[in-house]
Amino acid sequence: MRLYNFSAGPSILPKEVMHQAAEAVKELDGSKLSLIEISHRSKAFINIMDEACELALRLTGLEGKGYKAIFLQGGASLQFLMTAYNLLEKKAGYLNTGTWSDKAIKEAKLFGEVIEIASSKDQNYNYIPKDYTISSDLDYLHLTTNNTIFGTQFKTLPETDTPLVADMSSDIFSRAFDYSKFDLFYAGAQKNMGPAGTTLVIIKESLFGRVTRSIPSMLSYEVHASKDSMFNTPPVFAVYTSMLNMRWIESQGGIAALGEKNAVKSTLLYGEIDRNSLFEGFANKEDRSDMNATFNLKNPELTDAFDSICQTAGISGLKGHRSVGGYRASMYNALPIDSVEVLVDCMQLLEKNH
Ligand X SMILES: *Cc1c(COP(=O)(O)O)cnc(C)c1O
Q: Just list the catalytic residues.
A: 100, 167, 191
Candidates 162, 170, 241, 266: give the one binding ligand X (CB under 6 A).
170
Contact 169, 188 (CB under 8 A): yes
Binding segment toward ligand X, per CB under 6 A, in 62-70, 72-80, 227-235, 343-351: 72-80
Contact 73, 200 (CB under 8 A): no
Chain position whose Cβ is nearest to ligand X:
75
Q: 161: number of CA atoms within 13 Å, CB side?
A: 3
The values of phi and psi at residue 11, to 5°, are: -125, 180
- Minimum Å gap between C-beta 354 and ligand X is 33
Task: Find residue 119's DSSP bridge partners.
Answer: 96
Please say which residue, 68 or 191, places its beta carbon nearer to ligand X: 191
What DSSP assignment string belongs to 113-163? EEEEEEE-GGGTT-S--------TT-S-EEEESEETTTTEE-SS----SSP
Q: 61: number of CA atoms within 13 Å, CB side?
A: 13
Residue 77 makes contact with ligand X by CB under 6 A: yes
- Minimum Å gap between C-beta 333 and ligand X is 15
Task: Return the axis-axis angle of helices 236-251 and 43-59, rounded to nearest 10°.
Answer: 50
Candidates 75, 112, 129, 325: give the one binding ligand X (CB under 6 A).
75
Please say which residue, 193 or 297, places its beta carbon nearer to ligand X: 193
Binding segment toward ligand X, per CB under 6 A, in 25-33, 37-45, 57-65, 163-171: 163-171
Please say which residue, 75 or 254, places its beta carbon nearer to ligand X: 75
Contact 218, 231 (CB under 8 A): yes
Question: How far apart are alpha carbons 293 and 295 in whole angstroms?
Answer: 7
CA distance readout (Å), 40 to 137, 162, 231:
42, 38, 11
Residue 144 makes contact with ligand X by CB under 6 A: yes
**Binding-site residue total for ligand X (CB under 6 A)?**
12
Question: How far apart are alpha carbons 15 and 83 in whole angstroms?
Answer: 34
Candidates 60, 153, 169, 174: give the one binding ligand X (CB under 6 A).
169
- Minimum Å gap between C-beta 170 and ligand X is 4
What DSSP assignment string belongs to 154-217? -SS----SSPEEEE-TTTTTSS---GGG-SEEEEETTTTTSSTT-EEEEEEGGGTT--SS---G
The values of phi and psi at residue 26, to 5°, are: -75, -50
- Minimum Å gap between C-beta 149 and ligand X is 7
Residue 148 makes contact with ligand X by CB under 6 A: yes
Please say which residue, 80 or 306, places its beta carbon nearer to ligand X: 80
- Minimum Å gap between C-beta 147 and ligand X is 7
Residue 198 makes contact with ligand X by CB under 6 A: no
Binding string, 3-42, against ligand X, x = CB under 6 A? ------x---------------------------------
Binding segment toward ligand X, per CB under 6 A, in 73-81, 82-90, 202-210, 255-263: 73-81
Binding segment toward ligand X, per CB under 6 A, in 74-82, 128-136, 274-282, 293-301: 74-82
Candidates 163, 188, 259, 281: give the one binding ligand X (CB under 6 A).
188
Candidates 68, 142, 175, 191: give the one binding ligand X (CB under 6 A).
191
Task: Find residue 199's DSSP bridge partners.
Answer: 72, 188
Binding string, 99-138, against ligand X, x = CB under 6 A? -x--------------------------------------
Give the binding site for ligand X (CB under 6 A): 9, 75-77, 100, 144, 148, 167, 169-170, 188, 191
